[in-house]
Amino acid sequence: MELLVAAAIGILTTAGTYLMLRAYTFPVILGLTFLSYAVNVFLFAMGRLAIDRPPVISPDAPGYTDPLPQALVLTAIVISFGMTALIVALALRGYLETGSDRSTLDAPRRTDAGGGA
Amino acid sequence: MTTPLDQMTILPVILPAMAAAFLVLALRHHLAGQRIASIGVTLLLVGIAAFLLAQASDGTVRAYRLGDWPAPYGITLVLDRLSATLLLLTAVLALCVVVYAAGGVDGRGRHFHPLFQFQLMGINGAFLTGDVFNLFVFFEVMLIASYGLMLHGGGPARLKAGFQYVAINLLASVVFLVGVGLIYAVTGTLNMADLAVKVPQVAEADAALLKAGALLLFLVFATKAALVPLHWWLPATYAGASAPAAAMFMIMTKVGAYAIIRVYGLVFGAGAGPLALAAAPFVIPAALVTLAVGAIGLVGSRTLRDLSAFAVIASMGTLLVAIGLFDAAGLAAGLYYLVHSTLAGAALFLIAGLVQEQRGAARDRLVPGPAMAGETLIGGLFFLAAIALVGLPPLSGFLGKVMILKAAQASAIWPWIWGLILAASLVMTFGFARAGSVLFWASGPASGTKPPPALSLAAVVLFLGLMVAWTLAAGPATDGLQLTARQALDRSAYIGAVLGPDARLAARD
């Protein structure tokens, strides 16, 4: 099981890093999503992998699994979900307003167009 | 056990959160009402922060346990001189910025004031928290609000810069979580005081893993503090945001610096056994490069907002040199400079906003353009802000730099520090002189725009007045900051306040 979890984290991180380095917004968002999945599994594994153990105290439990990383992962999932929604909306607005999906800054800055107040 | 006065510690977090919700729900369509409520709440925050600083200046570290759950199991807020000082700085900065925004910028998009209050909640929380995971949560609160503020007012260039800003911060959050996970896996705790107890006791086999976690966390804080080579997001973001948003972001780089002080001065500080000063070898060299990059970028800037952003990078470089010394003298000098550079940088961004409004099509590009209404006044303010940021006498920037240079003599590489700080000051003087002479002397006939709003001008004058006051108060201020620095590096007082006196004894053994 350790190998499976470790490989999953590794593959997700690799795919996420590769996609993050693209110059277009959509792959970057996908990459961020992969990375946040990887980190969720990673955090979960940091409480040690234990099977069939309860996280809360009960008198006849043979042992416990650490409940704290599960709480941390829950928080991390909520935050990364909200952030992903935001960045998708942002990328979509950027695409609709500039007509390009490129995530570089050069084009609009060279002409000094827009920028607001 | 706790008196109502002790409950004040949580107010800098709760008050802006309530205010933001109230602004969204009750005053959604009343800009005037939003302005009054937002300025009122910020004024109240200044009062609370001043009270907390007065309370903290008796020298005790106060732990506030939410729901009275005992540390390290519950959530703890910690109030000491350092966090109280930064709370007051945040509140004062926010007051000036919100007054400036009430001059008209807040009406260009929706929800400026609620976002602003949410950001205050995140920043105050980050300064108060005594727990690494809550630091992450407050970072995220602060960042979510800052995304909204950064994009406030819209425009394609701002959207593109905003996407990069959000993407880089999401990546930083992922790295933060990996670092937190590693630290938890090795020590089994995330409470800073508990970490300070457990880090020195870590088994030798686990020390490398813990160090990896600590350094990943350092990468995140360095990104927030715009330390080279993780500073690339800053110029585009600050130059792309509206003037009040950029001025408010001045404190966000300081949150990164604060986290470095807390985590690497306390948890991985001098008494942390095999992991003592884990990040220290990287801070000063990176800070010196940051300073050089800031100064060179400043000379090469083509707009006043870019120039201001690079001035911020240079000032972060100077500040982190002082923090990187990790001793009380360096930290005290750094804190004096931190207050100064926050005020000066914010003033410069607000002035850049005024200049941009006044020059028609030339905006804030550093090319000859039409004369501005109120040019003498804006020019004079720019001159003062430039002097302050470069660190020329007589303003507080000069005093701050002298203190940092003096403290740096303790370092083995002090000739490098002296040389680079002085050379960067010279280069920055040149950059500011060029920008100022193009903007204010090489101007054509008047553009016929309205003079800048009185409220906005008042905010800039207030900033410069505060800076003069900070210069005049240098004597008492440095005495206080000496104590602050010593307290911030004192592990046993912090551990004792959070975990109780027994843990303090255990830490000493």
HEC secondary structure over B3-47: CHHHHHHHHHHHHHHHHHHHHHHHCCCCHHHHHHHHHHHHHHHHH
Q: What's the mean per-residue pLDDT of chain A? A: 83
Give the pLDDT mean for B372-379. Answer: 81
Which token pair is B183? Answer: 């630290």
Q: What single letter denotes the amino acid at residue B377? A: L
CA distance B291 to B341: 13
What's the total number of domains in chain A?
A: 1
Helix (H) or strand (E) holding B62, with range, is strand B62-65
pLDDT of residue A106: 55
Domain annotation covers residue A107: no
Minimal Cα–Cα distance from A117 to chain B, Å?
6
User: A35 vs B174: CB contact, 8 Å cut-off?
Assistant: yes
Domain annotation covers residue B296: yes
Minimal Cα–Cα distance from A37 to chain B, Å?
10
Domain annotation covers residue B376: yes
pLDDT of residue A108: 45
Residue B100: is its pLDDT beyond 50? yes
Which residues, including other chains, have CB under 8 Å from residue B465's CB and lie 6 or more apart? none
Give the pLDDT mean for B218-226. Answer: 92
Residues from chain A contacting residue B173 (CB–CB below 8 Å): 79-80, 83
Minimal Cα–Cα distance from B163 to chain A, Å?
7
Q: Are the beta carbons of B264 and B279 closer than 8 angstroms? A: yes
Residues from chain A contacting residue B184 (CB–CB below 8 Å): 46-47, 68-69, 72
Q: What is the CA radius of gyration of chain A?
A: 20
Residue B340: is its pLDDT beyond 60? yes
Minimal Cα–Cα distance from B326 to chain A, Å?
31
User: A32 vs B365: CB contact, 8 Å cut-off?
Assistant: no
Domain annotation covers residue B451: yes
Residue B447: is its pLDDT beyond 80? no
Comparing CB atoms, the residue among B147, B157, B167 nearest residue A108 is B157
pLDDT of residue A110: 41
Q: What are phi and psi of B403, to 5 degrees?
A: -65, -40
Chain B's closest residue to A44, CA to CA, is B181
Helix axes B304-324, B328-358, angle to 10 degrees: 180
Q: What's the mean per-residue pLDDT of chain B? A: 88
DSSP string over chain A: -HHHHHHHHHHHHHHHHHHHTSSBHHHHHHHHHHHHHHHHHHHHHTT---SS--SS--TT-S----SHHHHHHHHHHHHHHHHHHHHHHHHHHHHHHHS--B--SHHHHHHT-----
User: B166 vs A87: CB contact, 8 Å cut-off?
Assistant: yes
Residue B111: is its pLDDT beyond 50? yes
Higher pLDDT, B162 or B17: B17
Minimal Cα–Cα distance from A53 to chain B, Å?
18
Domain annotation covers residue A110: no
Which residues, including other chains, have CB under 8 Å from residue B297's CB and lie 6 or more apart? B235, B306, B309, B310, B313
User: A86 vs B147: CB contact, 8 Å cut-off?
Assistant: yes
What's the total number of domains in chain B?
A: 1
Residue B509: is its pLDDT beyond 80? no
Which range (A59-63, B35-39, B138-142, B258-262) has the least confidence? A59-63
Residues from chain A contacting residue B167 (CB–CB below 8 Å): 20, 28, 32, 87, 103
Chain A's closest residue to B143, CA to CA, is A83
User: Is the pTM of the predicted complex or chain greater than 0.80?
Assistant: yes
pLDDT of residue A7: 95
Helix (H) or strand (E) holding B444, with range, is strand B444-446
Which token pair is B361? Answer: 């099509």
Give the pLDDT mean for A25-36. Answer: 92
Give the pLDDT mean for B91-97. Answer: 94
Q: What is the pLDDT of residues B297-312, one digit of tens each?
A: 999 988 899 999 999 9
Give the pLDDT mean for A53-67. Answer: 81
Instruction: Specify burial of residue B415 (Cβ count, 10 A radius: 0-12, 13-18, 19+).
Output: exposed
Residues of A with CB under 8 A from a CB of B: 20, 25, 28, 32, 35-36, 38-39, 42-43, 46-48, 68-69, 72, 75-76, 79-80, 82-83, 86-87, 90-91, 93-94, 97-98, 103-105, 108-109, 112-117
Residue B273: is its pLDDT beyond 90? no
Minimal Cα–Cα distance from A59 to chain B, Å?
22
Residue B272: is its pLDDT beyond 90? no
Give the pLDDT mean for B254-267. Answer: 91
Domain annotation covers residue A112: no
Chain B's closest residue to A35, CA to CA, is B174
Comparing CB atoms, the residue among B105, B151, B156 nearest residue A114 is B156
pLDDT band at B36 (very low <50, low <70, confident <90, very high): very high
pLDDT of residue B507: 53
Residue A71: is its pLDDT beyond 70? yes
CA distance B80 to B75: 17
Comparing CB atoms, the residue among A83, A90, A113 nearest residue B163 is A90
pLDDT band at B505 (very low <50, low <70, confident <90, very high): low
Residue A87: is its pLDDT beyond 80? yes
Domain annotation covers residue A115: no
Chain A's closest residue to B178, CA to CA, is A39
Q: What is the pLDDT of residues B230-249, one digit of tens each?
A: 888 898 888 888 889 999 99
Residue A116: is its pLDDT beyond 50? no
Give the pLDDT mean for B133-150. Answer: 91
CA distance B136 to B129: 10
Residue B410: is its pLDDT beyond 90? no
Domain annotation covers residue A92: yes
Domain annotation covers residue B161: no
Picking from B343, B340, B337, the residue whose alpha carbon sits closest to that of residue B321 is: B337
User: B171 vs A32: CB contact, 8 Å cut-off?
Assistant: yes
Residue B129: is its pLDDT beyond 90? yes
Q: What single letter denotes the amino acid at residue A43? A: L
Residue B88: is its pLDDT beyond 50? yes
Please count the other Cβ atoms lying within 10 Å of the Cβ belonging to residue A112.
14
Which range (B315-319, B331-335, B393-397) has the least confidence? B393-397
Q: What single letter denotes the amino acid at residue B404? A: I
Please count the other Cβ atoms lying within 10 Å of the Cβ belonging to residue B225.
28
Give the length of chain B.
509
Q: How many Å separate Cα A116 from the centre of its chain?
A: 31
Give the domain extent around A70.
Answer: 2-55+64-98
Give the pLDDT mean for A95-104. Answer: 77
Give the domain extent around B300.
Answer: 279-472
pLDDT of residue B290: 94
Which residues, including other chains, have CB under 8 Å from residue B182's CB and lie 6 or more apart? A46, B209, B210, B212, B213, B216
